[in-house]
Amino acid sequence: MVTGTADKWFNSVVYLILAAVAAASIFPLLYVVSMSLTPYSEVVKNGGFVIVPRSLSFEAYNRIFADPALGRSMLVTVFVTVVGTAVNLLLTTVAAYPLSRRKLQGRSFFLLFIVITMLFNGGLIPTYLIVQSLGLLDSVWALIVPGAIATFNVLVMKSFFENLPEELFESARIDGAQEFRILWQIVLPLSVPSVLTVGLFYMVGHWNSFFSAVLYITDRELYPLQVVIRNMLLLTQSNELQAEVTVPTAAMQMAAVIAGSLPIIAVYPFIQKHFTKGMLLGAIKG
């Protein structure tokens, strides 16, 4: 089918806009990576702005990873991310499945009760007092328990469960299957895109956890990665004159940013297909 001239012009404009958006998205990442690998002499020569370095230097990464606090914080963050995401998915699934069943008595009340929490919450101080009363201060569980379940993710997974054919549930019940068996052997295997989508939301949230750690954690041994990176950036800025003798301050800052972002960037491509599918199916009802 031959497209007309107007269609060709329209497609050209669309491609140009998409190319501009892609360049605008890639440029910050390219700048961060380049600056983290740029030697001090080249940074000075280019006035502190380098996109493609002529030579590479890993001194900034050597300094960043030489700090024992970074490795310790990495372990804390990995633990919080893995365990926290597992707890999140368990509770979210258990909450979303019964809410997806239209025959559940009081379903509308429970949905309203849950949705209200998206609009109103207890606030910062009451939440802190609850965490304190539970004895979770200065504990990694303070980074997991308060956000153990997110209303938005429950609604996304509920919508996905509602799209599954009702005949599957009826056939399973006729065969004598109980609800937990239906959830485990039928619903979850068919809901991998939704589970991975929600899991990615939780995982990114735990990995980037910063404010909760600042609020609930005072023990430096339990600081997660983002807090340690923030402290490194502040320390680098305060020692700017001494640090730039061998390593540019900007290089160490960008190396810290890469260290905190690389694991998530590395994981995302493997679940991108499921992530997109899960968002689409979870948003379509009926």
Angle, in degrees to the nearest 10, between helices 249-283 and 225-238: 150
The pLDDT of 271-283, averaged and rounded, is 56
User: The pTM is what?
Assistant: 0.77
pLDDT for the residue 231? 80
Note the CATH number of domain 60-283: 1.10.3720.10
**Whole-number Å distance between alpha carbons of 224 and 13:** 45
pLDDT in tens, 44-61: 676 667 777 777 777 778
Q: What percentage of the chain carries pLDDT values higher than 90?
A: 13
For residues 169 and 277, the model is more confident at 169
Is it the case that residue 126 has pLDDT exceeding 80? yes
Query: Where are the chain's structural domains?
Result: 60-283
- H helical segments located in the chain: 5-36, 40-45, 59-66, 68-100, 107-119, 124-133, 151-162, 166-174, 179-182, 188-190, 192-207, 211-216, 225-238, 240-243, 249-283
pLDDT in tens, 172-182: 888 887 888 88
- Kindly report the backbone phi and psi dihedral angles of residue 65, in degrees, each rounded to the nearest multiple of 5, phi listed first: -80, -10
pLDDT in tens, 185-221: 888 888 888 888 888 889 988 988 888 899 999 888 8
What does pLDDT average to over the chain? 80
Q: Are 282 and 197 in contact (CB under 8 A)?
A: yes
Is it the case that residue 105 has pLDDT exceeding 70? yes
For residues 57 and 276, the model is more confident at 57
With bands split at pLDDT 50, 70 and 90, how would you rate the model's confidence at 11? confident
User: Which of these ranges, 70-84, 140-154, 248-262, has the smallest mean pLDDT?
Assistant: 248-262
